Chain A
Amino acid sequence: MEWIKLRSLRSTLWALMLVVVGMVGIGVATMANTRPPSTDAARSLFDPTNNVLAGVALGQLVIGVLGVLAVSAEYSSGTIRSTFAAIPRRPMVLAAKAAVFAVVLLITGEAVCFATFFAGRAALADDVPAPALEEPGVLRAVVLTGAYLAQIGLIGIGLGAIARHTAGAIGALVAVTFVLPLIAVGLTGTTVAKFFPTLIVANSIAVAKPVSDTLAPWTGFCVLCLYTLAALGVGGWLLNRRDA
């Protein structure tokens, strides 16, 4: 049921194409503008893998909104009542939605991240050291960034189930991904900010070389898994409790 719903909307395809074009485009543009590090200090910090995946900031927003709409559009159109009449076990409905999204977004996320990596690397100037998947941390960075896109999509579904209204849920999504981490950085540096998804992906996951005072890659990934489960858990619990 959820698979039919997802693929029968043109907006799904458009959104995923926007993610592909946006991430590859930003990756290529960033790499084309990357200059070779001039000093030894700069060379030790030089991480083109992080540069090439810069487009994840855009990708997360599009995919997060897609997740939100998967639930909130059912409420705004009234489809949710048909859905719950067909399947009265509401947490099952959310679980099915999440499962379908997880598969589709994981495939899309991995495909787009690998495509971005190779396209961006090809755009590097000849004098810039090119990253390779065999180097330490590079493959992990690309794979986990793809997985992050699936995670933020599922967090979007959870937010959609919690807020039920498109505007409110997208507001919450933007607050969590962009607004709150900026405020946190301003107030306390990375102490709090490093726990927000955008900073986890930018500083902990999409990096081949560790960034000081941030979460370790796999720690960051596990924290994101917890956020995903929490968003879906609260969303499923509220769906069950509230009137449709």
Chain B
Amino acid sequence: MISARSLTKRYGTVVAVDGLSFDVPPGAITGFLGPNGAGKSSTLRMILGLDRPDAGSARIDGRPYAALRWPMRAVGALLEARAFHPGRTAYSHLAAMAAGGGLPRSRVDDVLGVVGLADVAGRRAGSFSLGMSQRLGIAAALLGDPAVLLLDEPTNGLDPEGVVWVRQLMRSLTAEGRTVLLSSHLISEVSIVADHVVVIGRGRLLADGSIAELTADGKSLEEVFFGLTADRGRDGRGRPNVGRHQKGRQL
């Protein structure tokens, strides 16, 4: 289980994540929703120990990421597509990661098969389309056969078939008892697969509950989302954020 407690991150004068606390329950898909700039990616990076929180903590099964004995076996993450050297082959990229995580080389072939890249494993990853890059990123996340997966916009750049494939993959992973945190701003995508959602805006928690609870009064998840984020249409310096505000008004 992932738990964030009073997680806070500042970049200069901007507070990206502001006292955020939530739990991601095991064996389920939890949607992590928020407008652009809400602090989703910063939160994911803090969970992975890549960014240091200014206050609070994020733990995985009670331990900070850096204290995990086998981090890649505990948590797999897809943070961005194309997070690889374009001159390296897909196979070498995964082989280097497997070596770093203390994983057997056979896992590379396993995950290449799962994501359907086995035929192009020897090609330089820089020649991949966005969809193929995304599959390579998912392969890297699955490499350690982890109990927890953090996926940031996993369907970005995938064709409709790929989107359905990711959905089924996430469902089969949770059916095996794994935890999936699906970060996205695609509300419809999250509403299709997630059991549970955490909504943030301006780095603060706006809602945390099952989709059934949040939509109990007959509203769609999208309506609930805009209701939650509409009054957050100003940034910290009091300037209106036009795009977001207008979306809120359209309801």
Write the residues of chain A forming the contact surface with B, with a CB cutoff of 8 angstroms: 1-5, 8-11, 73-74, 77-79, 81-89, 243-244
Interface centre among A10, A81, A89 (most CB of B within 10 A): A81
Residue-wise interface mask of B (70-90) relative to A, using a CB-CB cutoff of 8 A (1 in contact, 0 not): 011001010110111111110
Write the residues of chain B forming the contact surface with A, with a CB cutoff of 8 angstroms: 45, 48-52, 65-66, 68, 71-72, 75, 77, 79-80, 82-89, 92-93, 95-97, 99-101, 140
User: Roughly how many angstroms separate A243 CA and B65 CA in the complex, as a whole number?
Assistant: 14
Chain A residues with Cβ below 8 Å from B77 are: 85
- 4 smallest CB-CB distances across A and B, nearest first, come from A8-B92, A78-B83, A1-B100, A86-B100
Chain B residues with Cβ below 8 Å from A78 are: 79-80, 82-84
Asked if residues B87 and A10 are in contact (CB atoms below 8 Å), the reply is yes
Residue in A2, A3, A85 whose CB lies within 8 Å of B50? A85
Looking at the assembled complex, report how far the CB atom of A104 sits from the nearest CB atom of chain B, in whole angstroms.
15
Question: Given that A5-B96, A11-B87 are contacting pairs, would A82 and B45 also be in contact in the complex, using a CB cutoff of 8 Å?
Answer: no
Asked if residues A85 and B92 are in contact (CB atoms below 8 Å), the reply is no
For residue A7, which residue of chain B has the nearest CB?
A: B92
Interface centre among A73, A81, A85, A86 (most CB of B within 10 A): A85
Say what secondary structure dominates the interface of chain A: helix
For residue B105, which residue of chain A has the nearest CB?
A: A4
List 5 A-B residue pairs with CB atoms under 8 Å apart, sorted by A's residue number. A5-B92, A11-B87, A78-B79, A84-B49, A88-B68
Looking at the assembled complex, report how far the CB atom of A150 sits from the nearest CB atom of chain B, in whole angstroms.
22
Chain A residues with Cβ below 8 Å from B72 are: 85-86
Asked if residues A89 and B85 are in contact (CB atoms below 8 Å), the reply is no
Looking at the assembled complex, report how far the CB atom of B77 sits from the nearest CB atom of chain A, in whole angstroms.
6
For residue B77, which residue of chain A has the nearest CB?
A: A85
Chain B residues with Cβ below 8 Å from A81 are: 45, 48, 50, 79-80, 83
Looking at the assembled complex, report how far the CB atom of B230 sits from the nearest CB atom of chain A, in whole angstroms.
31
Chain A residues with Cβ below 8 Å from B88 are: 5, 8-9
Asked if residues A86 and B97 are in contact (CB atoms below 8 Å), the reply is yes
User: Roughly how many angstroms separate A127 CA and B87 CA in the complex, as a whole number?
Assistant: 49
Chain B residues with Cβ below 8 Å from A1 are: 96-97, 99-100
Chain B residues with Cβ below 8 Å from A77 are: 82-86
For residue A89, which residue of chain B has the nearest CB?
A: B66
For residue B102, which residue of chain A has the nearest CB?
A: A86
Chain A residues with Cβ below 8 Å from B92 are: 4-5, 8
Asked if residues B71 and A85 are in contact (CB atoms below 8 Å), the reply is yes
Looking at the assembled complex, report how far the CB atom of A165 sits from the nearest CB atom of chain B, in whole angstroms.
16
For residue A77, which residue of chain B has the nearest CB?
A: B85
Chain A residues with Cβ below 8 Å from B100 are: 1, 83, 86-87
Chain B residues with Cβ below 8 Å from A87 are: 71, 100-101
Asked if residues A8 and B96 are in contact (CB atoms below 8 Å), the reply is yes
Residue in B65, B84, B96, B99 whose CB lies within 8 Å of A88? B65
Chain A residues with Cβ below 8 Å from B86 are: 77
Looking at the assembled complex, report how far the CB atom of A200 sits from the nearest CB atom of chain B, in whole angstroms.
33
Looking at the assembled complex, report how far the CB atom of B142 sits from the nearest CB atom of chain A, in whole angstroms.
13
User: Roughly how many angstroms separate A42 CA and B85 CA in the complex, as a whole number?
Assistant: 53
Looking at the assembled complex, report how far the CB atom of B58 sits from the nearest CB atom of chain A, in whole angstroms.
13
User: Roughly how many angstroms separate A79 CA and B71 CA in the complex, as a whole number?
Assistant: 16
User: Roughly how many angstroms separate A89 CA and B69 CA in the complex, as a whole number?
Assistant: 11
Asked if residues A243 and B83 are in contact (CB atoms below 8 Å), the reply is no
Asked if residues B66 and A88 are in contact (CB atoms below 8 Å), the reply is yes
User: Roughly how many angstroms separate A82 CA and B75 CA in the complex, as a whole number?
Assistant: 12
Chain A residues with Cβ below 8 Å from B97 are: 1, 82-83, 86
Chain A residues with Cβ below 8 Å from B45 are: 81, 243-244
Asked if residues A84 and B89 are in contact (CB atoms below 8 Å), the reply is no
For residue A242, which residue of chain B has the nearest CB?
A: B52
User: Roughly how many angstroms separate A89 CA and B102 CA in the complex, as a whole number?
Assistant: 14
Chain B residues with Cβ below 8 Å from A85 are: 48-50, 71-72, 75, 77
Residue in B65, B68, B140 whose CB lies within 8 Å of A82? B140
User: Roughly how many angstroms separate A130 CA and B97 CA in the complex, as a whole number?
Assistant: 51
For residue B143, which residue of chain A has the nearest CB?
A: A86
Chain A residues with Cβ below 8 Å from B84 are: 77-79, 82
Chain B residues with Cβ below 8 Å from A2 are: 96
Chain B residues with Cβ below 8 Å from A89 are: 66
User: Roughly how many angstroms separate A234 CA and B100 CA in the complex, as a whole number?
Assistant: 23
For residue A9, which residue of chain B has the nearest CB?
A: B87
Asked if residues A244 and B51 are in contact (CB atoms below 8 Å), the reply is yes
Asked if residues A4 and B83 are in contact (CB atoms below 8 Å), the reply is no
For residue A243, which residue of chain B has the nearest CB?
A: B51
Chain A residues with Cβ below 8 Å from B85 are: 5, 9, 73-74, 77, 79
